[in-house]
Amino acid sequence: MSGPLEGITVLDMSRVLAGPWAGQLLADLGARVIKIEHPSRGDDTRGWGPPWLAQEDEREKVAAYYLCANRGKHSLAVDIATEEGQALVRRLAAGADILVENFKVGGLAKYGLDYASLHAENPRLIGCSITGFGQEGPYAHRAGYDFMIQAMGGLMSLTGEADGMPMKTGVAITDVMTGLYATVGVLAALQERGRTGVGRHVDVALLDVQVATLANQALNALVSGRDPERHGNAHPNIVPYQAFACADGHLVLTVGNDAQFARFAALLGHPEWARDPAYATNAARVGNRAVLVPMIQAILATRRRDEWLAELEARGIPAGPINTVGEAFDDPQVRHREMQRVLKRGELEVPQVANPLRFDGASATSEVAPPRLGQDSDALLAEMGLTAEDIARLRRAGVVR
């Protein structure tokens, strides 16, 4: 089945996670994505292992990290520090629709491959530049990495136990969210180009995204004038909405309204809580969490986790287990939605996680496995009109792989 972006060509000149995540999403949506990589090292994340795919095969060996963000792409290994390499990329850009890049500000200009230069030759080209701090401002020249941005952008101050060290999230969530925002911006520019015939430049900064995605916590601070405190696995605005220990493990309880709390109180044997002014409303429960939460904890600790989960499910009270990653993939709902996939590249099987988008019931997940470094160089160069002798010469010179 063709995707919504069939016929769109993307030059993915990004590496690590935020840019490649956007490129992979565009590939899943049907775009042809050409990943430009350095001939000798490729994307940095190819070497960010272990774990490795095909540990024993040097030709196929690649870090799992790389595999998470490069499905559906063609790999063209070309050295853009050479004049011939630059010329090849300019030829590709002349026929492309979208450029995604995450070089430092001004980093592509020295090669003549910055958006302004490429847009001058192809006015329909849409550019998306992903950086740590944006194209302007006092930090614009700095490199940006997810961990550092989580710290600077306030997320770590909200994460962790109240009396413990501020913590990062277990996934590079700022990079992932930046990739999603970048994709939204690119698709908006593509829609606009349909009216105007002219592309525009999208500037996406990790720090901007991190601040923007503080969501309710940002408004908690702006409305109250106070920095939010860390609550560990509890919620600053909702009670009870946190992890609790049971007799044999933990569960997460997410009581989102007063009706759910009334059913929960009845389950615990204390229906009077739902009538008590100290606990009847969420605002009251937030104000009295120090008293209410220990009472809930004492009762939940008396029974096994799965017994409580069954009781909660039967009463329509949202709750769930705290799964490991392996347990999450083995969950019946996750299996039903086919979130774990295996793509083939020849005889090699490449594990993948499906794109969560579905169109008319069909998953928007590319069936093309992440490429080997330079896997598609010959085919792409031949499409550009280069002969076998031209390609061989460029390969001997180290311009392509």
Structure confidence by residue, pLDDT tens digits, 179-214: 999 999 999 999 999 999 999 999 999 999 999 999
Predicted confidence at residue 58, as pLDDT, reads: 82
Name 388's Cβ contacts closer than 8 Å, sequence gap at least 6.
382
Q: Provide the 3-class DSSP secondary structure of residue 191.
A: helix
Structure confidence by residue, pLDDT tens digits, 284-301: 999 999 999 999 999 999
Predicted confidence at residue 236, as pLDDT, reads: 94
Q: How far apart are CA 75 and CA 401, in angstroms?
A: 10
Mean of per-residue pLDDT scores for the chain:
97
pLDDT at 368 over 70: yes
pTM: 0.95
What is the rounded average pLDDT of the residues 2-27?
97
Please say if 203 is a catalytic residue. no
Q: Which of 12, 79, 175, 208 is catalytic?
A: 175
Q: How far apart are CA 281 and CA 287, in angstroms?
A: 10
Predicted confidence at residue 243, as pLDDT, reads: 97
- 262 in Cβ contact with 271 (< 8 Å): yes
208 token code pair: 């901007």
Predicted confidence at residue 79, as pLDDT, reads: 98
pLDDT at 390 over 80: yes
Predicted confidence at residue 1, as pLDDT, reads: 62
What is the rounded average pLDDT of the residues 373-395?
96
What are the residue boundaries of the structural domains of the chain, listed by start?
9-213+338-397, 241-322
Characterise 6 by phi-psi region: left (phi > 0), alpha (psi -120 to 50), beta (else).
beta
Q: Is the dihedral of CA 202, 207, 213, 219 positive or negative?
A: negative
Structure confidence by residue, pLDDT tens digits, 122-162: 999 999 999 999 999 999 999 999 999 999 999 999 999 99
Predicted confidence at residue 55, as pLDDT, reads: 87
Q: How far apart are CA 255 and CA 318, in angstroms?
A: 6
Domain 241-322 sits in CATH 3.10.105.10: no
Residue labelled with tokens 């853009």: 80
What is the rounded average pLDDT of the residues 109-118?
97
Structure confidence by residue, pLDDT tens digits, 220-278: 999 999 999 999 999 999 999 999 999 999 999 999 999 999 999 999 999 999 999 99
Characterise 256 by phi-psi region: left (phi > 0), alpha (psi -120 to 50), beta (else).
alpha
Predicted confidence at residue 40, as pLDDT, reads: 93
pLDDT at 172 over 90: yes
Question: What number of helices (H) and strands (E) belong to the chain?
Answer: 17, 15
Q: How far apart are CA 217 and CA 204, in angstroms?
A: 22
Predicted confidence at residue 57, as pLDDT, reads: 86
Pairing of strands 126-131, 98-101: parallel
Pairing of strands 358-359, 201-205: unpaired
- 102 in Cβ contact with 130 (< 8 Å): yes
CATH number of 9-213+338-397: 3.40.50.10540
Predicted confidence at residue 210, as pLDDT, reads: 98
Name 379's Cβ contacts closer than 8 Å, sequence gap at least 6.
74
